[in-house]
Structure 1
Amino acid sequence: MKILITNDDGIFAPGVQALADLLSHFGEVTVVCPETEKSAYSHKITLRQPLKLKKVDFASHAEAFAVNGSPADCVKLGMEVLLPEKPDIVFSGINIGPNVGRDLYYSGTIAAAQEAMLYQVPSVSVSLETFDSRKIKFDIVKQLLYQVVEVIVQNKIPKNLMLNVNLPYTSKELCKGVRVVPMDLSVSRYNFAGLNDPHGHIYYWLKDHYHELELNEGTDYHLLREGYVTISPIELVHTRKRRIDQLTRWFYQYTNLQEEK
């Protein structure tokens, strides 16, 4: 099995190293990551400046490359330039900090996995519910994630689907289990806080209210905080036929103007 790894924390982030170590047990690993942190880059791609793909020394046996671009750039370069053929699966992570709810639209980690979907390659984004990378014991994380990856690899992910996986920071023995849940888009995790500078101007900074949120029972937020691994399936399909039929009826009087002429 050929596996492509990326993330948005940067090529030398400890979560990337841990993921590469773990996935080397399942196949041949190639790592392509931004050279620096690109958190909350969403699905940005680089149009107006050249990208540089630089090989770097990596502690594991995986080939590793740094890119002066976004997480989505990394997957795109991997698919179109670096790899002789498409990988069997793409993993994005391990991200430090969870990706839940509306993070679906902001996260560079998730966006990299979604970029793989555009190439009809199954993908998984992986995030960890802790924020201090200096204190993380990745051996514990890898033991918990190994069981999840084993099931994912044994069961073929459809090409138009990605899995958003969030891990509680706990041992596999204390983990309460796995729950497949939708991402709760009703909660706004980031809100602006106003700050005054010495000259009287107000600046606005996004503050993460993750630990202050009211938790809706049964959602990804709630179950992750309760100690479950949460998995949210995300489909590529954005426009469904019934919506096309509905809007066609709205504009019916305009659809045949050329024929009437």
Structure 2
Amino acid sequence: MKVLVTNDDGIFAPGIQALVEVLQHFADVYVSCPDQERSAISHSITLRVPLKAKPLALFPGAKGCWAVNGTPADCVKLGIEVLMKEPPDFVISGINLGPNLGRDLYYSGTMAGAVEGLLYGIPSVAVSLNAFSDMDINYEKVKKLFYPILEVLLQNKIPKGVFLNVNLPYLSKEICKGIRIVPPDMKVSRYSYVGLNDPHGLVYYWLKDQLHHMKDFENDSDFLLLRTGFVTISPIEFRTFHKRKQEQIERWFAHLNFASTDEEEIDYA
């Protein structure tokens, strides 16, 4: 089995090293990561700047490792199309510093790495950790928690058109309360703008993460379950077309007939 790994924290982030070390027990690992942090960059790709993939010997035992001056989506796309001789059997994005919950799936570069794999029909997973400072994290504890979860993920077939968003509590395996399969809580707005005055009296705005101050979640919220000690896994489906919606919208325009020859042509010049 061949697994392509990426992240949005950058190739030197401790989370990617922990992920590679766990994965090497199960598969041949290839690493294609941004050369610097690309958090919250969503699914952007690089169009007007040439990409460079610099080979690095960062992870002993990895079959290939490249630092790319692009986004997580660039890294996965380049890895699949150019860097690897054959497409991977799996794409895993992470382990991200900080959870990705609810609406984060639209903003997160970690998520985008998994989605890019999904676009190629490759089973893909995004993995994030509910902790915020690398200086305080014992990644040995994280690896022991993630190992049995990864083993299950690799042994099973992820449904077609779906990627999995996994959030790990920063707890030992013995204390973790278990695993919950939940939808992302899209009703929660985690980030809000804070207005500040500059020295000239003009207002500028900064996005503030309210995660630590939020409460009153619903019982099945991924935010609440992760906070109370569960691993949360959300199967995310990205459908690009809805047949039933097509038929509904066709009815909106059924009365329009642009092929009619009874009306005079309109000159829009």
User: Which digits, 9 at most, give the CA deviation of each residue in 1:32-60, with x for residues without a partner?
Assistant: 00000000000000011100010112133
Give CA-to-partner distance per residue, 1:97-135, whole Å, 9 cap, x none. 000011010000001100111101010000000101111
Q: Distance in 2 between matches of 1:66 and 1:244?
A: 42
Residue 249 of structure 2 aligns to a residue whose secondary structure is helix
Cα distance between partner residues in 2 of 1:106 and 1:36? 17
Asked if 1:248 corresponds to 2:250, the answer is: yes
Q: 1:73 to 1:85 in 2, by over 3 A?
A: same
Aligned AA (2:52): K
Deviation of the 1:257 alpha carbon: 4.1
Task: Output the CA distance in 2 between the equivalents of 1:185 and 1:239.
Answer: 21
Contact 1:168 1:225 in 2 (8 A): yes
- The whole-number CA distance in structure 1 between the counterparts of 2:229 and 2:241 is 35
Instruction: State whether structure 2 residue 41 is matched by structure 1 residue 41.
Output: yes
- Give the SS at the match of 1:25: coil
Deviation by residue 1:206-233 (Cα, 9 ceiling, x = unmatched): 0000011122221110100110000000
Q: Supply the distance in 2 between the matched residues of 1:230 and 1:80 (Cα, whole angstroms).
A: 31
Q: Distance in 1 between matches of 2:195 and 2:168?
A: 32
TM-score by length of 2: 0.94
Secondary structure in structure 2 of the residue aligned to 1:237:
coil
SS at match of 1:104: helix
Q: After superposition, what is the alpha-carbon deviation per residue over 1:140-175, rounded to whole angstroms, capped at 9, x for unaligned? A: 101111111111111111331100000000011111
Matched-pair contact (CA < 8 Å) for 1:20–1:60: no
Provide the residue aligned with 1:230 in structure 2.
Answer: 232
User: What SS class does the counterpart of residue 25 from structure 2 fall into?
Assistant: coil
Instruction: Quote the residue 1:19 is aligned against.
Output: 19
Say whether the 8 Å CA contact 2:59–2:65 is kept in structure 1: no
Provide the residue aligned with 1:179 in structure 2: 180
Q: Which amino acid aligns with 2:25?
A: H
Deviations 1:60-117 (A, max 9, x none): 3112100001000000100111111110000000000000011010000001100111
SS in 1 for 2:167: strand
Pairing 1:54–2:48 present: no
Read off the aligned partner of 2:165 and give its amino acid letter. Answer: N
Higher radius of gyration, 1 or 2: 2
- Aligned ranges 1:74-113 → 2 under 5 Å: 74-113=75-114
What is the TM-score normalised by the length of structure 1?
0.96
Size of the aligned set, in residue pairs, is 259
**5+ long unaligned stretches in structure 1:** none
Q: Mean alpha-carbon deviation: is it higher for 147-156 or for 231-240?
A: 231-240
SS at match of 1:178: strand
In structure 1, what residue type is equivalent to 2:3? I
Tell me, in whole angstroms, the C-alpha distance in 1 between the residues paired with 2:174 and 2:247. 50
The amino acid of 1:189's aligned partner reads R
Counterpart of 1:144 in structure 2: which amino acid? L
Any conservation in 1 of the 2:4–2:30 contact (CA below 8 Å)? Answer: yes
Matching residue of 2:7 = 7
Query: Partner letter of residue 158 of structure 1?
Result: P
Please tell me whether the aligned partners of residues 17 and 60 of structure 1 are also in contact (alpha carbons under 8 angstroms): no
- Range moving further from structure 2, 78-87 or 120-129: 78-87
**Amino acid paired to 1:224:** L
Q: Which amino acid aligns with 2:208?
A: K
Contact kept, 8 Å, 1:21 with 1:60, in 2: the verdict is no
Q: How many angstroms apart in 1 are the aligned matches of 2:189 and 2:255?
A: 40
Structure 2 counterpart of 1:102, which letter? R
- Output the aligned Cα RMSD: 1.1
The letter for the 1-side match of 2:106 is: Y
User: Could you tell me whether the CA contact under 8 Å between 2:20 and 2:59 is conserved in 1?
Assistant: no
Residue number in structure 2 paired with 1:161: 162
